[in-house]
Amino acid sequence: MAEDLSSLQQIRGLVKWFDPTKGFGFVVSDEGGPDILLHVNVLRNFGQSSIADGAQVELVTHRTERGVQAVEVISITPPERDDSPVLSDFAEMDPKALYAEPLLPARVKWFDKGKGFGFANVFGRPEDVFLHVEVLRQSGLSELQPGEALGMRVIEGKRGRMAVEVLAWEAALQADQE
C-alpha cells in the first residue's frame, strides 16, 4: 500500500524526552499541537542512537491514526550551552581552544548512564578516552552503545585523556566539512 505523501510535514521542535532503553521519546513542535513520537529507528537512520532532552530537531512527520510520528530526522542542534565549563577539568581552559581541537574518529568501549561516564578509543591509539555524561548532553546525546562510531575532540585533562565534545559519526563527518 502506497504511503500518503500529503500527510508528511516538516517541523522544528524540542526533544521533550528520549529513552534509548525504551527505544522512543517525544518532541514538542514549535508550532504547538500534539507530541510527536520519535522512534529510535528513525534516530538511527540519522546516525545516532540517542538524543539529549532539550535538543532542537528538524523532522519530517507523518500523521497516523495513533498520532503524529517522526519519519525522518533532518537536523539536530544540541541544547543551548552556557559559557561555563561543563566539567571542573575544563575550568581553567579557554573554551575556544577546547572546541578548536580536531575531531578524531573513535569507537565507544563502554558507557554507563547510571554511573555518568564511560570510555572510548580513538582509532589507532591504545589509550582510553574518558566520556562524561555532561559532555554527551552538551553535545546533544544522552547515551552511547558499545561499538558506536563517534567523532570526538580530546584533550589531556587533569585525570588523563578526556572528550570535550562527542558527535555521532555522521554528524562529525558533516561538522568536519564545514
pLDDT by residue (tens digit) across 61-83? 999 888 999 999 998 887 776 55
The domains located in the chain, with CATH, are: 5-77 (2.40.50.140), 88-177 (2.40.50.140)
Q: What is the pLDDT of residues 6-36, one digit of tens each?
A: 678 999 999 999 988 898 999 999 999 899 9
CA–CA dist 52, 38 (Å, integer)? 12
pLDDT at 1 over 70: no
To 10 degrees, the CA torsion angle through 43, 76, 104, 117? -70
Q: What are the distances in angstroms from CA 176 to CA 15, 138, 153?
A: 25, 18, 11
**Nine-digit cell string for 120:** 572510548
Tracing cell 550551552 back to the chain, one arrives at 81
Q: What is the pTM of this model?
A: 0.66
